[in-house]
């Protein structure tokens, strides 16, 4: 590369100032922030490229002899998004070109454009292209903006010689494999440029076609579906650039609404367009480069089918062939897609047309529906091979093929309107019968799809220590076999949804529910609980009056929730109570437990929960109990709110100190929460969604509050509920990434629908930001 230096002429006008060459380009880019142009995709990119071409020509006018200004990369392809890099090469025939380079590049930098720049002779350009595949591909789609046409023709000839000697296929295959290793399934938060199913894959197609043209081989034009996918990806990329005001290519949840508005669509429409484009690109890559699909080693179900996948079949797959597809990972997914495209699955599973590119807009969903279903199948495949708890359950079921089909169909009802579980159940049974399943297996498949949300919703929102809840779930399931299927499906579905939907705490809750329900079918483990006689028999000498007063004053369900060991722990804390409150921490698996006992005092629970938030302690479950004499005995299941780890000793000491100082009036815990929230720069406050309903099994009024997960939210909600005169006995929090679903069980709540509606409205107003 020819070295050059820049020197600004004192007093010279900046090309981006009014009247400068870049004025129109910068003005166009700014105008796009609020208003799209044309189709929002290639038309925007083409317009930006044309206007920038004119600016570049003016910057270097007149063009020196033996010089060509070449647009390369995305600018060369005329895929210039509003904040794309401006990739330019000053190609020359030798000599000192630093002055011309300064005239060209310095104004672009002054305008704060991101410029990919180079100054090269023909020999230098060819040499760098031989040494770097990235440079080779960048130059393949180079475009003359202005200057010496013969020099540019020489560049084309040079790149032709380089690319003839160095095929691209191996390099492009490696890049596509890397994208798929990084993202085994299509993502909702897609990188529309470099991610799986994105523009970079289409660039690979274009580079290969351009190489074939340059070396004189026949090259087919891009297909209509490729062109449509490219258009959709460019539309979303341009929208992302415009709504963020920078080079940003990730379709993250917070940008979906503004992207849709820029495109003139609703959020679902724009998301569906993008998912369909990415799915198309994925399929086109598998057709063009079939080597990218590596076969999975033979799975544990290989005994069911020794035949290869029916890639070229013109008939629906048999039961065993479908199982082969489901256990074969990406190879199976490709086989299924080819079967679908051939039309031979239309009668077997017509509902696939709905979910094939169906987006999922909830932030905790990592994948569109079809990708989620395939990922659930793969997680189920892992559970089948597990050598621990899950593998033993699967072995007891002894029908691995059914488990894979259940995983594949559990969300097949989405997009049909109404309850997706109910719609999916009908589809699943019909599918099973068409596939040749026995009536018994088809019914089990139907029931599994219908109830696939039963265990996760119950475990995260209801009282697992209440026998009525366990009995209701067991009655709904009806038998151990379906319970086992639902248990494994819950694990697979939750893991496949994304990391926000599965962790040690949720795993423990789901397992607890499973074991307690299984106990009613002659297996599993019943709830611990205790009896009055067991507690009295275990107390220390001299504690008789203390224990009697405590047990007499606690709510009726108290002993149902606590073990003898826990009851003795509570008595110790009550005996040691000297001030307004006494706290103790016990480590446990998977999370820790904090018990707080306190004398009657206004705002005790708020101060305690604010102290939790101010010290980085996340409350996952709170069981709140008040004795008849006003003494509170509250149990909190907790973890570090950032790491998810156990509570460290120093953090525990700070918590105890803060609670004591707050109760003495020496510390404002609310101010500490606000300071910590400010330090983490959390997002804007939201308006929580509130719903009240009566739990028919327990008679509790249950309030479900869905809102953004932010520091101090639990303390805020508990204070509002206390102001509403509600006696909360159980609170559970289900984290979903940036969202949390808090469930509050109200003792002796009013079941009247009118009163519930009024309560919902009051809470919503109180929590309004």
Q: What DSSP element (H or E) covers 619?
A: strand 617-626
Tokens of 553: 């004053």
Mean pLDDT, rounded, for 423-441? 96
Contact between residue 405 and residue 436 where contact means Cβ atoms under 8 Å apart: no
In the chain, where the domains are located: 23-166, 170-292, 389-436+444-519, 682-769
737 Rama sector, left if φ>0, alpha if ψ -120 to 50, beta otherwise: left
Higher pLDDT residue, 206 or 301?
Answer: 206
Contact between residue 87 and residue 142 where contact means Cβ atoms under 8 Å apart: no
pLDDT at 767 over 70: yes
Rounded CA separation 100/141 (Å): 24
Mean pLDDT, rounded, for 458-476? 95
pLDDT at 21: 87
Burial class (CB in 10 A: 0-12, 13-18, 19+), 584: middle
Burial class (CB in 10 A: 0-12, 13-18, 19+), 325: buried
Residue 17 pLDDT class (50, 70, 90 cuts): low
Least confident of 50-59, 89-98, 716-725: 716-725
pLDDT at 306: 43
**Statement: 170-292 belongs to CATH 3.30.390.10:** no
pLDDT at 297 over 70: no
pLDDT at 309: 45
Mean pLDDT, rounded, for 546-557? 94
pLDDT at 597 over 60: yes
Residue 7 pLDDT class (50, 70, 90 cuts): very low
Least confident of 80-84, 296-300, 482-486, 574-578: 296-300
Higher pLDDT residue, 306 or 71?
Answer: 71
Q: What DSSP element (H or E) covers 745?
A: strand 739-746
Rounded CA separation 668/681 (Å): 20
Pairing of strands 143-147, 115-121: unpaired
How much of the chain, in percent, has pLDDT values that exceed 70? Answer: 94
Rounded CA separation 474/451 (Å): 12
Rounded CA separation 216/231 (Å): 28
Using alpha carbons, list the distances in angstroms from residue 698 to 106, 623, 753: 73, 15, 17
User: Is the CA virtual torsion 384, 390, 394, 396 positive or negative?
Assistant: positive
φ and ψ of 269, to 5 deg? -60, -45
Contact between residue 711 and residue 673 where contact means Cβ atoms under 8 Å apart: yes
pLDDT at 690: 87
Q: Which CATH number fits domain 23-166: 3.30.460, 1.10.150, 1.10.10, 2.60.40?
A: 3.30.460
Rounded CA separation 105/113 (Å): 10
Contact between residue 342 and residue 314 where contact means Cβ atoms under 8 Å apart: yes
Report helix, strand or coil for 735.
Answer: strand
pTM as predicted: 0.91
Please list the residues that pair with 623 across neighbouring strands: 635, 730
Asked if 23-166 and 682-769 have one fold, the answer is: no
φ and ψ of 192, to 5 deg? -75, -10
pLDDT, tens only, 300-320: 444 334 444 444 556 888 999
pLDDT, tens only, 606-652: 899 999 999 999 999 999 999 999 999 999 999 998 888 999 999 99
Q: Which residues contact 195 (CB under 8 A, 6 or more apart)?
A: 179, 182, 183, 187, 250
286 Rama sector, left if φ>0, alpha if ψ -120 to 50, beta otherwise: alpha
φ and ψ of 587, to 5 deg? -70, 150
Question: What CATH number was assigned to the domain covering residues 682-769?
Answer: 3.30.70.260
Tell me the pLDDT of the chain averaged across its residues: 90
> Each residue of 365-378: b (16+ CB within 10 Å) or e?
bbbbbbbbbbbbbb
Least confident of 49-58, 148-157, 246-255, 315-324: 315-324
pLDDT at 300: 41
Rounded CA separation 703/327 (Å): 41
Q: What DSSP element (H or E) covers 570?
A: helix 564-575
pLDDT at 12 over 60: no
- What number of CA atoms fall less than 13 Å from residue 725's CA on the CB side? 5
pLDDT at 682: 59
- What number of CA atoms fall less than 13 Å from residue 665's CA on the CB side? 2
Tokens of 533: 């006689």
pLDDT at 459 over 70: yes
Contact between residue 9 and residue 102 where contact means Cβ atoms under 8 Å apart: no
Residues counted in the chain: 769
Contact between residue 380 and residue 514 where contact means Cβ atoms under 8 Å apart: no
pLDDT at 10 over 60: no
Mean pLDDT, rounded, for 500-510? 94
pLDDT at 419 over 60: yes
């Amino acid at each position: 590369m020819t070295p050059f230096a820049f020197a600004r002429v004192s007093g010279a006008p900046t090309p981006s100032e009014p009247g400068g060459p870049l004025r129109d380009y910068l003005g166009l880019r700014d105008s796009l922030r609020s208003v799209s142009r044309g189709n929002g995709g290639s038309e925007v990119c083409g317009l930006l490229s044309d206007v920038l071409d004119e600016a570049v020509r003016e910057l270097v006018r007149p063009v020196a002899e033996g010089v060509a200004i070449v647009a390369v990369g995305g600018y060369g392809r005329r895929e210039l998004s509003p904040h794309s890099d401006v990739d330019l090469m000053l190609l020359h025939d030798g000599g000192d070109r630093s002055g011309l380079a300064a005239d060209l590049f310095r104004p672009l930098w002054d305008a704060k454009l991101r410029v990919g720049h180079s100054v090269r002779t023909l020999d230098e350009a060819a040499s760098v292209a031989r040494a770097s595949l990235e440079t080779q591909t960048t130059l393949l789609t180079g475009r003359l903006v202005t200057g010496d046409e013969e020099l540019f023709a020489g560049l084309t000839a040079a790149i032709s010689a380089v690319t003839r000697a160095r095929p691209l296929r191996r390099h492009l295959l490696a890049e596509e494999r890397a994208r798929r290793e990084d993202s085994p399934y299509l993502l909702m938060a897609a990188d529309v440029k470099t991610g799986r199913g994105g523009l970079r894959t289409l660039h690979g197609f274009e580079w290969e076609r351009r190489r074939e043209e340059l070396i004189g081989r026949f090259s087919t034009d891009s297909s209509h579906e490729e062109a449509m996918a490219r258009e959709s990806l460019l539309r979303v990329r341009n929208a992302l650039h415009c709504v963020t005001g920078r080079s940003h290519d990730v379709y993250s949840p917070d940008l979906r609404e503004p992207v849709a508005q820029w495109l003139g669509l609703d959020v679902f429409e724009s998301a569906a367009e993008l998912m369909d484009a990415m799915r198309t690109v994925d399929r086109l890559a598998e057709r063009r480069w079939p080597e990218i699909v590596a076969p999975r080693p033979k799975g544990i179900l290989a005994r069911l089918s020794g035949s290869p996948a029916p890639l070229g079949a013109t008939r629906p797959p048999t039961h065993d062939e479908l199982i082969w597809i489901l256990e074969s990972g990406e190879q199976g997914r490709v086989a299924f897609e080819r079967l679908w495209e051939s039309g031979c699955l239309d009668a077997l599973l017509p509902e696939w047309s709905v979910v094939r590119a169906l987006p999922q807009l909830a932030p905790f969903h990592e994948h569109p529906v079809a990708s989620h279903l395939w990922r659930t199948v793969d997680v189920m495949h892992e559970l089948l091979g597990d050598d621990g708890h899950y593998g033993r359950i699967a072995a007891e079921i002894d029908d691995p093929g059914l488990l894979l089909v259940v995983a594949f169909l559990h969300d097949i009802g989405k997009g049909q309107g109404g309850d997706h579980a109910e719609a999916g159940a009908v589809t699943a049974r019909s599918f099973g019968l068409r596939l040749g399943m026995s009536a018994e297996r088809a019914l089990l498949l139907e029931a599994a799809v219908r109830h696939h949300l039963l265990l996760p919703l119950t475990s995260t929102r209801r009282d697992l220590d209440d026998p009525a809840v366990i009995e209701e779930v067991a009655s709904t399931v009806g038998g151990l076999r379906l319970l086992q299927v639902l248990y494994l499906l819950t694990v697979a579905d939750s893991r496949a949804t994304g990391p926000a939907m599965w962790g040690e705490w949720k795993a423990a809750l789901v397992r607890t529910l499973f074991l307690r329900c299984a106990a009613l079918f002659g297996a599993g483990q019943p709830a611990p609980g205790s009896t009055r006689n067991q507690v009295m028999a275990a107390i220390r000498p001299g504690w008789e009056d203390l224990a009697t007063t405590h047990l007499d004053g606690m709510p009726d369900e108290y002993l149902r929730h606590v073990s003898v060991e826990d009851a003795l722990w509570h008595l110790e804390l009550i005996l040691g109570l000297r001030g307004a409150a006494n706290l103790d921490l016990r480590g446990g698996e998977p999370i820790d437990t904090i018990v707080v006992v306190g004398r009657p005092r206004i705002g005790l629970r708020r101060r305690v929960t604010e102290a939790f938030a101010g010290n980085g302690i996340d409350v996952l479950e709170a069981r709140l109990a008040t004795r008849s004499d006003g003494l509170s005995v509250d149990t909190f299941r907790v973890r570090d709110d950032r790491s998810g780890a156990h509570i460290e000793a120093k953090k525990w000491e700070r918590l105890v100190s803060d609670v004591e100082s707050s109760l003495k009036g020496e510390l404002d815990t609310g101010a500490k929460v606000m300071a910590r929230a400010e330090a983490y720069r959390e997002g804007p406050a939201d308006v929580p969604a509130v719903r009240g309903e009566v739990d028919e099994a327990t008679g509790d009024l249950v309030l479900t509050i869905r809102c953004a997960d932010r520091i101090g939210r639990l303390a805020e909600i508990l204070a509002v509920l206390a102001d509403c005169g509600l006696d909360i006995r159980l609170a559970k929090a289900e984290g979903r990434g940036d969202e949390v679903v808090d469930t509050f069980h109200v003792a002796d709540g009013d079941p009247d629908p009118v009163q519930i509606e009024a309560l919902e409205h009051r809470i919503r107003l109180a929590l309004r930001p």
